[in-house]
Amino acid sequence: MLEVRDVVKRFGGLVALNRVSLEVKRNELLGLIGPNGSGKTTLFNVVTGYYRPEEGRVFYRGEDITGLRPHLIVRKGIARTFQIPKPFGRLTVLENVVSAAMYGRKGTSKREAREIAMEWLEYVKLREKAHVEAKTLNVVERKLMELARALSTEPDLLLLDELVAGLNPSEMMEVVRLVRRLVDERGLTIIMVEHVMRAVMSASDRVFVLHRGMKLAEGSPQEVARDPRVIEAYLGEAAQV
């Protein structure tokens, strides 16, 4: 479904991505991990059109989408969340999700967008908060609203950037189960960036490891967790999964 081919992204003298290549299959949940500064969010920004790579190409369903503007990429069927949700605080939760639905789907009427928004608020269990101002939400509720906003664009490929960061263990596993259901029940394809290893290892079909802007390892969660290079670079000597 998605192919990133030999992508290079530089910021001045810093090489943030150094010939990174990866493929994501349809209806797969890929965990993307790596230390801080390894290039994970930069890769998301390249895929979603916020950054244009100096070298390399990005293909989605066989089409070259390298450098397309973000709103055009959304309309191709790719959506994302951000590390820090930034809702329109004075708008209601529903209005926030409706605005995303209308942004992501060309020609969508406000009535259709509202129906889509309510469907996804129901799915993430925020329907009861639909008419409250977004600024009143707690951390987990803001994360779920961010997820609903992305889902309301009706994507086939969803990129989640540290969705469970800041959540307690119970909240984290509830959100992880919700994400897994999107793959198993709704047929979505998901790339999930996380620092919480329990979340990545429990949800992912496959894990891809970035380190210093380059691919370090790739495989099943079990294979990656046992890889000495990953343990040294990211998990730490005492890591246990």
164 — pLDDT class (breaks 50, 70, 90): very high
Strand partners, 189: 157
| CATH code for the domain of 193 | 3.40.50.300
> Are 59 and 118 members of one domain?
no
217 — pLDDT class (breaks 50, 70, 90): very high
239 — pLDDT class (breaks 50, 70, 90): very low
> Are 98 and 129 members of one domain?
yes
Q: Which of 123, 146, 160, 150 is nearest to 24 (CA)?
A: 160
Give the mean model confidence (pLDDT) for residues 109-117. 93
> Are 70 and 162 members of one domain?
yes
Residue 106 has pLDDT above 70, yes or no: no
The set of residues, in sequence order, having a beta carbon less than 8 Å from that of 68 and lying 6+ positions away, is 49, 76
Q: Which of 122-126, 206-210, 231-235 has the lowest mean pLDDT?
A: 231-235
> Are 1 and 64 members of one domain?
yes
> Are 110 and 44 members of one domain?
no
> Are 19 and 137 members of one domain?
no
The confidence score (pLDDT) of residue 40 equals: 95
147 — pLDDT class (breaks 50, 70, 90): very high
Residues 19 and 5: beta-carbon distance below 8 Å: no
Task: Please count the structural domains in the chain.
Answer: 2
Give the mean model confidence (pLDDT) for residues 2-25. 97
> Are 65 and 117 members of one domain?
no
DSSP secondary structure code for residue 136 in this structure: G
The confidence score (pLDDT) of residue 88 equals: 79
> Are 190 and 150 members of one domain?
no
The confidence score (pLDDT) of residue 86 equals: 75
123 — pLDDT class (breaks 50, 70, 90): very high
Question: Final residue of a domain: which of 122, 154, 186?
Answer: 154
Residues 49 and 69: beta-carbon distance below 8 Å: yes
Give the mean model confidence (pLDDT) for residues 57-68. 97
> Are 138 and 203 members of one domain?
no
> Are 54 and 94 members of one domain?
no
Question: Final residue of a domain: which of 138, 154, 170?
Answer: 154
Question: Final residue of a domain: which of 154, 175, 192?
Answer: 154
The confidence score (pLDDT) of residue 90 equals: 85
Residue 134 has pLDDT above 50, yes or no: yes
The confidence score (pLDDT) of residue 157 equals: 98
**Whole-model pTM above 0.85?**
yes
> Are 95 and 164 members of one domain?
no
**What is the amino acid identity at position 212?**
R
> Are 161 and 240 members of one domain?
yes
Q: Which domain holds residue 121?
A: 84-154
Give the mean model confidence (pLDDT) for residues 165-186. 94
The confidence score (pLDDT) of residue 236 equals: 54
Give the mean model confidence (pLDDT) for residues 177-186. 96
